[in-house]
Copies of this chain bind each other. A is one copy, B any other.
Amino acid sequence: MATFSELAPHLAETGRALHARGWALATAGNFSAVVRRDPLVLAISRSGVDKGRLAASDILQVDGNGLPLEAEAKPSDETVVHLAVVRERGAGAVLHTHSVWNTLLSEAAGDAGGLAISGYEMLKALSGVLTHEHTEWVPILPNTQDYKRMTRDVVDALAKHPGAHGLLLRGHGLYTWGRDLQEARRHVEAFEFLFELTGRLFTASGRLPAKAAGVGAGGTDGDD
């Protein structure tokens, strides 16, 4: 297991690379890796930082309750989700991305509760998958600002779908993980490839939702 001072620059570089691909624009996304198992210590990107300029100094350490080891630090609100994935899957790293295609698919398939992807060689980039004939079920959970509820939903989905390598939050993005940061990053790339592929097929076959941003003649902001 790598030390915090080894993990922090790797997490920062991972964040900048995902930003460069357009999978973590603005402040979207957060990234973590396990520093110690017992007691649990997690290295995770701090709240609200632009991912294009994520530096090692933007990575902080939290304990198993999500509390920062250094008092003044502010971890992401979604730290509890990362901790849940680490516990339920024994993951060594957890990556959360917001891409255009994963957001579109989460809306297109959200009412069905998930998305099945099968038949592609790229599925073999997911840990333990040995054939393209594999069907990967990607659970899609409702989005919420109630992080306790989100964590409960994630724990339930992980229990119900023990073979899943990732899950989508509707209108929000992908959570995937791996035994280490490198495997988690491989899973991001594999999923984002499969999402773009599926999204383009949905576009061509009219399966993207008509719902979405409305065009109104009015002109009042929702939050005015």
B132 touches A172 (CB 8 A): yes
Say how far A215's CB is from chain B's closest CB, in angstroms: 4
Q: A186-B26, A192-B25 are in contact. Are A132 and B223 (CB under 8 A)?
A: no
At the interface, yes or no: A139 with Cβ under 8 Å from chain B? yes
Once the chains are docked, how many angstroms separate the CA of A2 from the CA of B129? 37
Say how far A202's CB is from chain B's closest CB, in angstroms: 7
A208 touches which of B119, B122, B201, B210 (Cβ 8 Å): B201
Residues of B within 8 A of A202 (CB): 204, 212
Among the 9-residue stretches A38-46, A61-69, A100-108, the one with 4 or more Cβ atoms under 8 Å from chain B is A100-108
Say how far A220's CB is from chain B's closest CB, in angstroms: 7
Q: A161-B221, A201-B208 are in contact. Are A215 and B119 (CB under 8 A)?
A: no
Residues of B within 8 A of A131 (CB): 145
Residue picked from A136, A198, A215, most chain B C-beta under 10 Å: A215
8 Å CB interface, A180-205 against B: 182, 185-187, 189-190, 192-194, 196-205
Residues of B within 8 A of A112 (CB): 215-217
Say how far A115's CB is from chain B's closest CB, in angstroms: 6
Count of chain A residues near B, Cβ 8 A: 87
Once the chains are docked, how many angstroms separate the CA of A103 from the CA of B205? 16
Say how far A217's CB is from chain B's closest CB, in angstroms: 5
A100 touches which of B128, B163, B182, B200 (Cβ 8 Å): B200
Q: Chain A residues in contact with chain B, CB under 8 A?
A: 17, 21-22, 25-28, 50, 52, 98, 100, 103-104, 108-109, 112-122, 124-125, 128-137, 139, 143, 145, 160-164, 169, 171-173, 182, 185-187, 189-190, 192-194, 196-210, 212-224
A-B contact pairs, 24 of them (CB 8 A): A25-B189, A25-B192, A25-B193, A26-B186, A26-B189, A26-B190, A27-B124, A27-B125, A50-B185, A98-B193, A100-B193, A112-B215, A113-B217, A113-B219, A115-B216, A116-B222, A118-B214, A120-B171, A132-B143, A132-B145, A132-B171, A135-B223, A137-B220, A201-B209
